[in-house]
Structure 1
């Protein structure tokens, strides 16, 4: 059952269109990540769900009911903001229970839910403190506790972890997943951090320029990107994209020819004449001193050592190719063979930038 559904929704501020004809269905109880670069419309979508922004055109349905004109306070929403928005004059216990008091819940219900939330988020012993007396990570957990006590149908989070350091973000991600598994609300999470998206989300809606680029599982977004934007946005370093062409049975790149397996030949020739881009992730670019069945000779012009892995950089027809390998095996200036792994390749239409798809053998 759809918990949230956007039908042909657009949002404009004056003459500036922020969201373009969005069609998006979010299942009841799922964790959906809204991912994309700054300014792509992620927070605007969240604010339309919450009722903090109006819809310019189209319809929004919450639990099957048209919600365009429903007041924010009547939407059964719990929201966590980037800046936490805690009341500085209230204790932690008072902050967590504030929303319940406003809605005139019974005192014993408030007391029980506040205690439960404080225990879940490891805030026990801090109930009498004020926000200024807490660390950033503790304030973030208070904001989460204040949201979960409401037991709302919709749990909206707008980059709630961006102010935390890397270690605290890792801990907080696990807490968020645990909270969702306990309560099962429809969980919409805005971030521009792809690690958060891949680890927290059950599905990812990737946006750019107000347009939905892809909606799928983290696995498919990474391994089967819908277009070049998705391919390059997900992954660090991002996917290598090279301009190539087919000549008969051969893939031609860098003035060299590689006969591709038949599974790819058929797929590529279906799109012949529109230009062709080939993608491969840096961890799938394998260099060696031995020539393999699908090999291209390249020269390493730069090396980066990351401690647990090494980046080797080369160029093919003026386009950079990065290989990430576990060992520091090669030196700057060395000629090596790029042994192409056909099952790790991606091909995109040169005009539309959309994926041409994958052979049935790789399904």
Structure 2
């Protein structure tokens, strides 16, 4: 194991996969400058034929990705901020997500789209969306939300090698976190959630960027006699429904923590899965901790009031874990 930053682990995965397959190419907004550090050094290592800056035109970028993948390349696209996915959505929703079906499986589209998502850094409304629910609804792409450096590296390498389009969403608040990353070849299968902390009284089901707030909440809950289990979903499409239900069966209670807006959030889908497949195990209603149905404010104090935090999670968990019930 080696300690690495989240962004460093992503950069290492990109270097390894481009070195592994000469048909793997990277293009996008400011990939040469490497604004976030995740594409640093790739232009120098692999040259302008395989690493290219693009104009700020996401409709063109998304269309290029579909065309290049259909022509036999393994494509990595950097959209910079996830909000920019919206302006490339025609090619994403009508081509990238559908062409394999519409060609009867004749076309594979090995495309991995990288984008930084979420609030917490005062980047204003047009740079702070957590738009994974929109992508989850397309029905033809994988949606990945790794929360640790090890998962970031392992899941990115797996996504790049897949012949299915994937959206690899990097939480803006996790770029500098450190964690152990396995040495050598490291591939993380998609669709497998991870139990980060075992517990008896309530399952805190964390989506992507919310892992730190969830871990802090579990520490606070422990002081109040509530033993919280933490489940990191890792990916939303595919979603590890078995692990989610198994956790709720162990604890009898669930709080789903998701940075997306509340309406039609990933938290809503996960809550529906629990109600459908784990209802008999529930001792209390499923609670969701999400963002209000509004755009993320720019002012730090206003953003902090909207952004989910450990106190929000503690309140939600405490509301379904009364002292007499957790002792039962």
TM-score with structure 1 setting the length = 0.32
> Which structure carries more helix by proportion?
2
* Structure with greater proportional strand content: 1
